[in-house]
Amino acid sequence: MKLKQIITVMEQIAPVELKESFDNVGLMVGDKESDINKVLIALDCTLEVIDEAKNIGADLILTHHPLLFRKPSTITTDTLLGKKIIELIKNDINLYSAHTNWDSVENGLNDTIVRLLGFKSGELIEPSKSKNYENSGIGRIININEELSLELLINKIKSSLNIENLRYVGELHNKIKKIAIINGSGQDFFEKARDLGADCVITGDTTYHYVSDYKEMGMCIIDIGHFESEWQTLITVSEGLKNKLKLDDVDFVISKVSKDPYKFL
């Protein structure tokens, strides 16, 4: 299958129109006329992931996080970004990324993490401005029929996403009635979640001062880590692309080296 055919399907699943203004999505490196026989799924395009693609003979790396956010001034081996781009080109490996558009689209990463946690998607925290995708946007609000303690919610997250460690703010006996879920780095949406009545936010990549302030305002926060909030979810939603393509001659491989950069003792 030609890369351009895969891109067409990918952009039906995660329309570029839904990306946030700061974001850069789509074909990062490559040739739309390339023949694709093997696709490697990874959260980030690291040098390890590129080596993995080379070793398994992948023609395309599909990532969630874009390799290129800003226009580089140079492409040389003197920089990490330059090394990656040159390595991709030298080995005829294409790179495509779907980021905030895949987060916000209906049945994308936001909706999928909600389902993985055993809930049903509710109100959007920040609806998409596009009139073509009314059920899309960043973040989901979940109303709990029977309130949960913070401790039970934490245990539910750990078991559902196979997470060993997470950070939280609040008392374990706190009762949770309304949850905001934002995969990735979601602290920019804390105030909107609070305005919508959320008493707990599940996200990743929180920082000290944000968390400290919202703790004082009585909000519980569960930081499961940026990687953990997206990796299992990405694996699940990538099955949607595979199923929609319905191809026997294109292999989809989940990266074995795409890992959280953080380690815990």
Q: What are 142-193's pLDDT values in tens digits?
A: 999 889 999 999 999 999 999 999 999 999 999 999 999 999 999 999 999 9
Q: What percent of the chain has pLDDT over 70?
A: 99
Q: Answer yes or no: are the C-beta atoms of 127 and 121 closer than 8 Å.
A: no
Q: Round to whole Å and give the CA distance between 141 and 186.
A: 13
pLDDT surpassing 90 at residue 246: no
**E strand or H helix at 182:** strand 175-185
Mean pLDDT estimate for the chain: 95
pLDDT at 72: 87
Q: What is the rounded (10 degree) CA torsion for 246, 27, 257, 92? A: 90
> What is the distance between the alpha carbons of residues 139 and 58, in angstroms, rounded to a whole number?
33
Ligand-binding site membership of 173 (annotated): no
List, for residues 116-152, the tens digit of each pLDDT value.
999 998 899 999 988 899 899 999 999 998 899 999 9
Half-sphere exposure at residue 51, Cβ-oriented, CA atoms within 13 angstroms: 7
For tokens 């980021």, what's the residue? 99
Cβ neighbours for 129, distance < 8 A, ≥ 6 positions apart: none
C-alpha closest to that of 40 among 262, 263, 259, 252:
252
Does residue 238 have a pLDDT over 80? yes
Query: Could you report how far apart the first and last alpha carbons of the chain are, in Å?
Result: 45
**pTM summary value:** 0.95
Domains detected in the chain: 3-99+231-254 (3.40.1390.30), 106-223 (3.40.1390.30)
- Which residues are within 8 A (CB) of 5 and not within 5 positions of it... i.e. 6 or more apart? none
Strands annotated E in the chain:
26-29, 38-42, 60-63, 94-97, 124-127, 137-149, 167-169, 175-185, 200-204, 220-223, 251-254
Residue 64 marked ligand-binding: yes
Q: What distance in Å separates the CA atoms of residue 1 and residue 51, rounded to the nearest whole number?
A: 23
pLDDT, residue 264, reads: 86
99 labelled as ligand-binding?
Answer: no
70 — pLDDT class (breaks 50, 70, 90): confident
**Annotated binding-site residue? 260:** no
Q: What is the pLDDT of residue 122?
A: 84
The pLDDT score that the predictor gives to residue 133 is 93
Give backbone dihedrals phi and psi of 144, rounded to 5 degrees, phi first. -90, 125
Residue 65 assigned ligand-binding role: yes
